[in-house]
Amino acid sequence: MYEAVFPELKGKCAYLVTMEIEDSGDLVDFIIALVDEDGKLAAAPIMTECLISYMPVAPTQLVEYRFSKEDSWRLGKVSLSCVEAYRKSKFERWYKMITTTGCTATLRSLLGVGLVSTLYDKYLLPSPEEEKKKYIVKCRFLITFFMDLRP
């Protein structure tokens, strides 16, 4: 999966190295590729950027997703920590609206829609080109002209 997203891994010897992040104490898996620099082997960490925080992250910190159980797993362009923060903020907003609204119609609507628990984004979780045609909605507009027939 990583070779499809990171072409610099193709044909390279790579290692998965687990390291502890000094500030948080979290364990993160880094992909280290061995590259040839002027006839000498050098270790180069493979890094990318989260499209929400714009922070550098290891590919193993990105969200993996699929559209169905039969579909293959894909690598998103957003880190798990950003997705968790998004879900938390959505829950807090939804909970606040439910507990503070005085309008029965609003409460009924909020309970009917329910909590936002699914993330759809064409940039963060892109669809493969060959599958995009399944999800394109074609609209046909009917334009009607009304004539004023009054004398």
Closest CA to 57 of 96, 95, 5: 5
Question: Which pLDDT band holds residue 139 (cuts at 50, 70, 90)?
Answer: low
Same domain, 42 and 52: no
Cα 30 from Cα 46, distance rounded (Å): 7
Same domain, 54 and 65: yes
Q: Which residue has the higher pLDDT, 128 or 151?
A: 128
Same domain, 53 and 117: yes
pLDDT of amino acid 54: 92
The tens digit of pLDDT for each residue in 69-117 reads: 888 888 889 998 898 888 888 888 888 888 888 888 888 888 888 777 7
Same domain, 35 and 72: no
Cα 59 from Cα 13, distance rounded (Å): 16
Least confident of 7-21, 40-54, 56-70, 121-135: 121-135
Phi, psi (rounded to 5 degrees) for 108: -60, -40
Same domain, 56 and 109: yes
Total structural domains within the chain:
2
Question: Which pLDDT band holds residue 149 (cuts at 50, 70, 90)?
Answer: low
- Residues of the domain holding 104: 48-134
Same domain, 103 and 126: yes
Same domain, 35 and 57: no
Q: Which residue has the higher pLDDT, 24 or 62?
A: 62
Which of the listed ranges 49-58, 97-106, 133-142 does the model predict with the highest average pLDDT?
49-58
Which whole number is the average pLDDT over 135-151? 58
